[in-house]
Amino acid sequence: MSLGDLMRIVRKELQLTQEDLAIEINLSYATLNRWANCKVKPSQYGLMQLRDYCVENNMAEEIIAELNRLIEISPVIKRPVRTIRKEAVY
């Protein structure tokens, strides 16, 4: 099952629009829409936000299990380390 299908099921069961779901899991509408239309793959962190929201709202175990599967196969994306540029000495 694709992430878009999962998200449709979640939204339908909780009677939410894409915009409402985006607000609930602290994402922009545009980001959630790209996930739902399979244009962009979410980060592992984003999937965990969606899974946690589903757990909190007592979604079916099948939905949570599928989200856990997607989390396991998604690449771990580390945030880039911010470096401080040193001034050049002439």
- 69 domain-assigned: yes
- Tell me if the pTM is above 0.85: no
Q: Is 19 helix (H, G, I), strand (E, B) or coil?
A: helix
- 39 domain-assigned: yes
- Give buried/exposed letters for 58-83 (b at 16+ CB in 10 A, else e): ebeeebbebbeebbeebeeeeeeeee
How many folded domains does the chain comprise? Answer: 1
pLDDT per position as a tens digit, 65-84: 999 999 998 876 655 455 55
- 87 domain-assigned: no
CATH of the domain at 55: 1.10.260.40
Helix 44-56 / helix 3-14 crossing angle, nearest 10 deg? 30
- 49 domain-assigned: yes
- 83 domain-assigned: no
Are 77 and 44 contacting, i.e. CB atoms less than 8 angstroms apart? yes
- 27 domain-assigned: yes
pLDDT per position as a tens digit, 36-50: 998 998 989 999 999
What's the DSSP call for residue 82?
A: P
- 85 domain-assigned: no
Domain, as residue range, for 34: 3-73
